[in-house]
Amino acid sequence: MKFFALLLFLLPLLVQAQDAESTPYYKAYDWTKEPRTFEITEEEKKKDEIIVFEKKSVEFINIGDDLKKYVLLHRITRLNTDLAIENNNTYYLSSDEDQQINKLKARVIKPNGEMIQVSQSDIKEAKDEDGNVEYKYFAFEGLEIGSYIEYLQYGEEYPELTGSRMYIQSESDKKSVEADIIYPSYLEFQIYPVNGLPKFELDDSDSLKTRMHLTIKDMPGLEEEDWSAYAANIQKCYFKLSKNLASGKGNFYTYTEVAKQIHENMFAPLTKKEKKLVNAFIEKNTKGATTTLEKVRALENAMKQNIPTVEMNFENDDNIEFILTKKITNEDGICKLMLNCLREMGIASELVITTDRTEEPFLEEFQGYNFLQEYLIYVKDVDSYFSASMYSRIGYPPYEFTYNKGIFISEVVVNGFAASVAKVKYIKGTDYSASIDQIDTEVKFNDDNNGCKVEFTRSSTGYKALYYQSIIDLLDEEQKKEMKEEYMKYLDEESSTLENMVFENDHTADFGVKPFIGKATVTSPVFVERAGNNILLKVGMLIGPQAEMYNESKRELPVDAQFTRGYNRTIVINIPEGFQAKNLQDLKIAYTPESGTIGFTSSYEVKGNQIIVSVKEWYNTYFFSVEDYPLYEKTMNAAADFNKIVLVLQEKN
């Protein structure tokens, strides 16, 4: 998402390149004519695949008046299983328009030494319906277990100086890894490794180039795990231009500098016409609203329902007059419009810029612009965040931008001059009680006791309702029907039928004010079975499907559970006449760690011919370290254990 134009190339600051310096370091790099051989242990052969060699290089170089960036990737992978062959038989080339491939080579080395080269003619193009190339690819032929595939690509890319990343670790084990970041000796780059990646070392053998290099032997792979933020946790490094030693100038890219430029655009004074349009928009859409929160909600709903957004940048996309007259913009434009509405109403707010914590958790120490991906607005008066995303509403921005840091930009006016103040602060999330999914069911058996009907009410708030309420007014009637049926078939998606389905608070304006509520009578053959004279009621199914977590190997990644949340369930069972429950104690489960931030409990009481079951499950933290993972697993599994409970109703003597 591009929300500001900061192409600070600094080319005037770069000294004239010398001949030796203008030759790329790896221009003549190639693989060996005869394939390299590798010692593979029996333990390594048990892996699906192993990367026996990988070399990555990024080089910035001055050629004439242009700054170029050259990227090298050379990888050799051994395939040990049919799954590895299936996963590696096709290689997809980048479709990035800013990338130019200068050298591309690939080959298969079979166990008997035979080599199969991939030629340029083997590269195919996949096109869309309009004939545009979506991507290019080629296939590796003749693969068998024990084969090696070798791939080498060298080319030019856009020379981004403001902040980039290099991934080093992946899911596969790597026997040997080499990585370089190369740049002219009169420049200085900041390199910031994360997640345990070692520091890059200086190779000072070339006076005209600075080569920072890294060599790692036997790097273990890191596999993806459920409920984890994989990209955020693998070993990688960030790098950016930090200084020009020839000119003595530095600190080119800082959060303070970017805040000034964003302030100039987003907080730009409105023209008289823009001010008039903004105030007319406010007056029209806040009628009847009394509190600050009500006004913000009303404005947000008006913007998101009446001003379509597109996922692209275009001329005037952030021009307030254009947005309010032409009724089209992008998310950045919506954010700018809201910021100006708040300012006109005198509502204190700060513009926030952050990043997706599941991909790139915001770094304060490394001030790279790659961490500036998304706008939020912090509305101080209601202590809540606004996002331009269609799938969000005030107080509930996209979860991936919460529990994270960001730059908070505010405006101060001194002696008639406006200036920006930028601070890095924490973006807090919501309490679990704000996002509750509640299910109330009452079971009534058929006359023959061979089946039942379930009176089903489901109620959701916060993030648990956001997907439904935030967009429901934008759907046609058929789409609404499908969404509601999906919501109400939660207990049994495959074989249940719904009768008398009705909804309450099924409008976008209800979000954050009233819960999203659905009611129906559910009939399904899966809830009841007979075993002789006994009735078997699968009471555990009435809390909805549950995930079960059992790690066969040691957990490697912390849990990122998106957002805090809670689940409440009440089940009323009408016992058929002449029957009694045999195993009521099975309904009692209690797992509540000392921290109190997470837990699962279930209990019951008997009133006359009714069994009333109460179930509560809560997660008041989104993050669990590897050490605390067992707490999360046991809570999830407590719910899964309840899900399996079958209540035996037995005929009385």
Q: What is the pLDDT of residues 22-69, one digit of tens each?
A: 789 999 999 999 999 999 999 999 999 999 999 999 999 988 778 899
Tokens, residue 295:
């006004």
Residues 523 and 625 in one domain: yes
Confidence band, pLDDT 50/70/90 cuts, at residue 98: confident
In this model, does residue 366 exceed pLDDT 50? yes
Contact present, 320 and 270 (Cβ < 8 Å): yes
Alpha carbon separation from 12 to 16, 66, 80, 187, 371 (Å, rounded): 10, 10, 52, 13, 26
Q: What is the pLDDT of residue 47?
A: 95
Closest CA to 376 of 387, 360, 366, 365: 387
Domain boundary residue, one of 383, 407, 427: 427
Q: For the beta carbon of residue 607, count every other beta carbon within 10 angstroms.
A: 8
Contact present, 509 and 465 (Cβ < 8 Å): no
Residues 486 and 571 in one domain: yes
In this model, does residue 7 exceed pLDDT 80? no
pTM for this entry: 0.91
Residue 1 lies in a domain: no
Residue 82 lies in a domain: yes
Residue 312 lies in a domain: yes
107 DSSP β-pair partners: 117, 150
Concatenating the DSSP letter of every residue in 497-518 gives EEEEEEEES-SGGGTTTS-EEE
Q: Which residue has the tokens 């700054």?
A: 67
Residue 274 lies in a domain: yes
Tokens, residue 555:
């957990």
The torsion angles phi and psi of 595, rounded to 5 degrees, stand at -60, -30
pLDDT tens, residue by residue, 231-248: 999 999 999 999 998 888
Residue 19, domain extent: 11-250
Q: Count structural domains, the chain.
A: 3
pLDDT tens, residue by residue, 128-152: 777 777 788 999 999 999 999 999 9
pLDDT tens, residue by residue, 269-280: 999 999 999 999
Confidence band, pLDDT 50/70/90 cuts, at residue 253: confident
Region 422-447 average pLDDT: 96
Contact present, 566 and 439 (Cβ < 8 Å): no
In this model, does residue 190 exceed pLDDT 70? yes
Residues 324 and 181 in one domain: no
| CATH number, residue 217 | 2.60.40.3140
Q: What is the pLDDT of residue 485?
A: 96
Closest CA to 157 of 74, 70, 62: 70
Residues 306 and 386 in one domain: yes
d(CA 169, CA 236): 7
Q: What is the pLDDT of residue 368?
A: 94
Contact present, 355 and 323 (Cβ < 8 Å): no
Alpha carbon separation from 494 to 173, 467, 490, 520, 523 (Å, rounded): 40, 22, 10, 16, 12
Q: What is the pLDDT of residue 4?
A: 42
Region 410-439 average pLDDT: 92
Looking at per-residue pLDDT, the higher value among 505 and 551 belongs to 505
Alpha carbon separation from 260 to 293, 408, 529 (Å, rounded): 29, 12, 68
Tokens, residue 278:
């903004």
Residues 481 and 577 in one domain: yes
In this model, does residue 329 exceed pLDDT 50? yes
| CATH number, residue 303 | 3.10.620.30
Residues 233 and 292 in one domain: no
Q: What is the pLDDT of residue 16?
A: 42
Q: Is 636 left (phi over 0), alpha (psi -120 to 50) or beta?
A: alpha
In this model, does residue 9 exceed pLDDT 50? no
| CATH number, residue 555 | 2.60.120.1130
Residue 4 lies in a domain: no
**Terminal Cα distance for the chain, rounded:** 71
Confidence band, pLDDT 50/70/90 cuts, at residue 550: confident
d(CA 507, CA 645): 36
pLDDT tens, residue by residue, 75-88: 999 999 999 999 99
pLDDT tens, residue by residue, 565-594: 999 999 999 999 999 999 999 999 999 998
Residues 417 and 451 in one domain: no
Q: What is the pLDDT of residue 18?
A: 44
Residues 420 and 530 in one domain: no
Domain boundary residue, one of 402, 427, 452: 427
Q: Which residues of 506-536 are buried (b: 16+ CB within 10 A; e: fewer)?
A: bebbbbbebbbbbbbebbbeebbeeeeeebe
* Strand locations in 64-221 (E): 66-79, 90-93, 100-109, 115-118, 124-127, 133-139, 148-157, 164-167, 173-184, 187-194, 201-203, 209-219
Residue 5 lies in a domain: no
Residues 222 and 303 in one domain: no
Confidence band, pLDDT 50/70/90 cuts, at residue 21: low
Residue 6 lies in a domain: no
d(CA 79, CA 88): 8
Residues 600 and 502 in one domain: yes
> With pLDDT > 70 as the criterion, what percentage of the chain qualifies?
96
Domain boundary residue, one of 250, 268, 283: 250
Residue 3 lies in a domain: no
Region 479-507 average pLDDT: 95
Listed range (114-123, 378-387, 608-617, 641-650) with the worst mean pLDDT: 114-123
Looking at per-residue pLDDT, the higher value among 230 and 132 belongs to 230
Residues 381 and 451 in one domain: no
Confidence band, pLDDT 50/70/90 cuts, at residue 95: low
pLDDT tens, residue by residue, 174-186: 999 999 999 999 9
Residues 218 and 86 in one domain: yes
d(CA 142, CA 144): 6
| Averaged pLDDT score across all residues of the chain | 92
